[in-house]
Amino acid sequence: MALLPATASAGSAAPATLPAAARTDAPYPDPLPITGQQIIHDPTVLRLKSGQYVAYSTGGVIGARLSRDLRHWDDAGNAFGEPPSWWYEYNGTGDPWAPDLSYRAGRYWLYYAVSSWGTNHSAIGVATSPSGLPGTWTDHGKVFTSETTDSWNAIDPSIIQADGRLWMTFGSYWTGIRMVELDPRTGKARAGATVHHLATRPDAPYAVEGPSLVKHGRYYYLFASYDACCAGVNSTYKIRVGRSTAITGPYTDSTGKPLLDGGGDLLLAGHGRYVGTGGESVFRTRGQDWLAYHYYDADDSGTPKLGLNRLGWTKNGWPEVF
């Protein structure tokens, strides 16, 4: 979901009868028309207790947008007034990537990554807020880190609660998508936590990243961005998905192919002016699931903008966008 290393060495609705992977001839739906501040990258969206929607994103010190109706968005500054000092251990500009927003235990939790392009010397941090609004966040430091000796990259966090436990998926390129268990009290990785492997590609640079994990029915669904981000109209990002009955996997697509072997049903790809769809997250509001993502607007010099589509589920339990 982030402005990610390009290589590892340098990462309800009406049902349908066929899974996403089989709908190769169907056109992809355009995103919901929106107004106001549309520029965004790697959005995470949530409806706050105040009734407002907030979208946090890569850019600035975690850029913020606010909306009352998901259709008109206003610039709301940044989550933080200035970068916490420890961010500079991971890049020289204190630039955070790919936030994830959730609500738990009476507080809003904002996870994010700090890194530099082309390295897995990276860290995921966490902050909390009573309201979820920009300017109200207290940073709590590092959640999980990776170094150049590791075979994974600690960026692109996504949080999910499952069976009374708290989990974080993360990852980019290197060996793809990983998962660790968190301590629900601190929101940080448990000491000595196993690093589970959820998805990868068969060949270098293992171009899969930006996970988002949700539960629907009896399955956990792993959404991820495949191929190349962050190249404007030359981006090839697309969103794929697999599922599992167990939070730690194995995840497979609708043909049974494991995501650890490069599987994944194609959910959304670029079409028309909407190039490089990815950096996705899934949220639920007023009984409706939504997919949030960025695309590069081919009619506006490749500017990254907010995409929102309703997310439905087929009778076979696979997601599709509307």
| 195-232 pLDDT, tens digit each | 999 999 999 899 999 999 999 999 999 999 999 999 99
Spell out the domains of the chain, with CATH numbers in brackets. 20-321 (2.115.10.20)
| Angle in degrees, CA 181, 185, 160, rounded to 5 | 40
Give the residue with greater pLDDT, 102 vs 13: 102
Q: How far apart are CA 47 and CA 303, in angstroms?
A: 25
Active site residue 297: no
Spatial CA neighbour of 305 closest among 133, 63, 47: 63
Q: Give the pair of three-digit tokens for residue 146.
A: 């990776």
Going by the DSSP 8-state scheme, the letter that residue 185 receives in this structure is T
How large is the average pLDDT for residues 153-166? 96
Q: What's the pLDDT band for 27 if we cut at 50, 70, 90?
A: confident
Whether 13 shows a pLDDT value over 70: the answer reads no
Q: How far apart are CA 269 and CA 28, in angstroms?
A: 7
Q: Give me the pLDDT at residue 7, please.
A: 30
Q: Give me the pLDDT at residue 233, please.
A: 97
| 286-319 pLDDT, tens digit each | 999 999 999 999 999 999 999 999 999 999 999 9
Q: Which of 42, 95, 297, 320 is catalytic?
A: 42
Bridge partners, residue 197, by sequence? 178
Q: To 10 degrees, the CA torsion angle through 72, 131, 213, 86?
A: 110
Query: In a 3-state reduction of DSSP, which class is residue 232?
Result: helix
User: How much is the pTM?
Assistant: 0.92
Q: Give me the pLDDT at residue 11, please.
A: 34
CA dihedral sign of residues 300, 302, 307, 309:
positive
| 38-93 pLDDT, tens digit each | 999 999 999 999 999 999 999 999 999 999 999 999 999 999 999 999 999 999 99
How large is the average pLDDT for residues 31-38? 98
| 91-102 pLDDT, tens digit each | 999 999 999 999
Average pLDDT of every residue of the chain: 92
| 229-285 pLDDT, tens digit each | 999 999 999 999 999 999 999 999 999 999 999 999 999 999 999 999 999 999 999
How large is the average pLDDT for residues 140-153? 97
Active site residue 181: no
Q: Which of 139, 209, 297, 320 is catalytic?
A: 209
Q: Give me the pLDDT at residue 90, please.
A: 96
